[in-house]
Chain A
Amino acid sequence: EAGVAQSPRYKIIEKRQSVAFWCNPISGHATLYWYQQILGQGPKLLIQFQNNGVVDDSQLPKDRFSAERLKGVDSTLKIQPAKLEDSAVYLCASSLDQHTEAFFGQGTRLTVV
């Protein structure tokens, strides 16, 4: 069974630029999560989708972050414009439903300079 795929693995951008991350969840998984993990901290949930609907985006900085999950499968997370404090690893995860274990991708390490 293929795991959660994320791309790119690494990205370096200058502040005020824009960036997009892509996630392909495990086939059949209805729930998709985007987490932000700052160095030395635990993952922080940014947004949670159930199929193509948003379940929770209370911690998503909506003035600069956006995410979508078209057709309830792949998802993209965008940051525009990026700030220095956005430097982190962005993890995508998926699960069969909202209670079962989440499977994580390898993450995208973003460095904003």
Chain B
Amino acid sequence: AQSVTQLGSHVSVSEGALVLLRCNYSSSVPPYLFWYVQYPNQGLQLLLKYTSAATLVKGINGFEAEFKKSETSFHLTKPSAHMSDAAEYFCAVNLASGTYKYIFGTGTRLKVLA
């Protein structure tokens, strides 16, 4: 069965520092992977997606993620945090075949310190 694990329910970084949010997946077949961001009282907004093309994926707002099959990881990074990046981030997996369900991780709340 597919699943997603996000390490760290809360992450704090200083403004201008590197952002690293971790996501590991479990899947028996090649997955599609996604990162979503959720601001307070809002729905989820897609940041970026991996669909078996380039392993380094660039998204909106300066975020990127790298698919590493050997580590079953899809960590989200941003070189320099901005105050506006404070939000909750969700990693999601969707199989490329078979059961086409989106499975979400439990989320990581990012806090950016001035």
- Do A and B pair up? The answer is yes
**A interface residues (Cβ-Cβ under 8 A, vs B):** 4, 33, 35, 40-45, 48, 55-56, 91, 93, 98-99, 101-107, 109
| A42 with B45, Cβ < 8 A, contacts A48-B101, A99-B100 known | no
Cross-chain contact A56 with B101 (CB below 8 angstroms): yes
Closest to A98 in B: B100
Within 8 Å CB of A45, what residues of B?
101-103
Q: Judging by beta carbons under 8 Å apart, are B44 and A43 in contact?
A: yes
Q: Which 3 A-B pairs have the closest CB atoms?
A: A98-B100, A104-B43, A42-B104
Task: Give the contact-size bracket for chain B.
Answer: 20 to 34
B25 interface contact, C-beta 8 A? no
Q: List 23 A-B contacts (CB under 8 A).
A: A4-B43, A35-B104, A40-B107, A41-B106, A42-B104, A42-B105, A42-B107, A43-B104, A48-B100, A48-B101, A55-B100, A91-B43, A98-B100, A99-B51, A99-B100, A101-B34, A101-B49, A102-B46, A102-B102, A105-B43, A106-B43, A107-B43, A109-B41
Chain B stretch 40-83: residues in CB contact (< 8 A) with chain A: 41-46, 49, 51
